[in-house]
């Protein structure tokens, strides 16, 4: 059952616990939205330039990975990681060509794997970590709180796309 309360979660510092509550709510709603989709639904293309639901789910997982690397390891993806995840991160043609023919469990397992790692890593941190500032290569500052807000924001945005694709899929059946 989806919890519709934002509250600090046990085993986390207060603000990180609230962040975890929001991350978990966002994910629960996404999982509910896609849980019964078949492989052909996941691979459905609205048109030749759109993304599939499967590629959007894989993108959501890849964004979480990137933010783990940036916030917990203070680095960018290495060459091997970039090669593995580039299609999911960039979407578009590469994703249409390579992120196909997977059952829903494949995507759910990837989403779960990265979320479990995020929760494990967050559990050992205090609220000060959220506000730790870094600078992008162009000198623009950011903090860890923003990075994890962006993970939620990105997932919510792509869930909206998933809902639109599902409506079109049903209309065209």
Residue with tokens 């023919």: 101
Residues of the domain holding 87: 14-171
Q: Scanning the structure block, which residue is given the tokens 């078949």?
A: 38
Domain assignment present for 4: no
Residue 22 lies in a domain: yes
Judge whether 6 lies within some domain: no
Predicted local distance difference test score (pLDDT) of residue 171: 84
Establish if 3 belongs to a structural domain.
Answer: no
Total structural domains within the chain: 1
Residue 118, domain CATH: 1.20.120.450
Question: From first to last of its 173 residues, what are the pLDDT tens digits of the chain?
Answer: 788 889 999 999 999 999 999 999 999 999 999 999 999 999 999 999 999 999 999 999 999 999 999 999 999 999 999 999 999 999 999 999 999 999 999 999 999 999 999 999 999 999 999 999 999 889 999 999 999 999 999 999 999 999 999 999 988 77
3-state class (DSSP) for residue 113: helix
In a domain, 2, yes or no: no
Measure CA 112 to chain center: 10
8 lies in some domain: no
Under DSSP, the state recorded for 4 is: -
Does a structural domain hold residue 1? no
* pTM for this predicted structure: 0.94
Could you tell me if residue 85 is inside a domain? yes
| pLDDT tens profile 105-147 | 999 999 999 999 999 999 999 999 999 999 988 999 999 999 9
> Given this model, what pLDDT does residue 125 score?
97
Per-residue confidence (pLDDT) for residue 152, from 0 to 100: 97
According to the model, what pLDDT value does residue 3 have?
A: 83
By C-alpha distance, which of 161, 170, 164 is closest to 40?
170
Tokens of 9: 């979660």
pLDDT at 1: 79
Which parts of the chain fold into alpha helices (H)?
14-34, 39-42, 53-73, 79-90, 93-98, 104-123, 127-130, 144-171
């Amino acid at each position: 059952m989806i919890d519709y309360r934002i509250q600090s979660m046990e085993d986390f510092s207060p603000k990180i616990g609230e962040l975890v509550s929001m991350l978990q709510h966002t994910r629960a709603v996404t999982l509910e939205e896609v849980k019964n989709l078949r492989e052909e639904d996941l691979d459905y293309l609205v048109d030749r330039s759109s993304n599939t639901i499967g590629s959007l789910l894989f993108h959501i997982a890849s964004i979480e990975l990137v933010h783990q690397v940036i916030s917990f390891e203070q680095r960018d993806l290495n060459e091997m990681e970039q090669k593995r995840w580039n299609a999911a991160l960039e979407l578009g043609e590469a994703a249409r060509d390579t992120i196909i023919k997977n059952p829903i469990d494949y995507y759910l397992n990837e989403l779960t794997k990265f979320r479990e790692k995020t929760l494990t890593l967050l559990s050992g941190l205090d609220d000060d970590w959220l506000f730790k500032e870094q600078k992008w290569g162009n000198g623009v500052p950011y903090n860890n709180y923003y990075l994890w807000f962006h993970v939620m924001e990105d997932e919510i945005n792509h869930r909206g796309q998933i809902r639109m694709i599902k409506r079109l899929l049903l209309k065209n059946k």
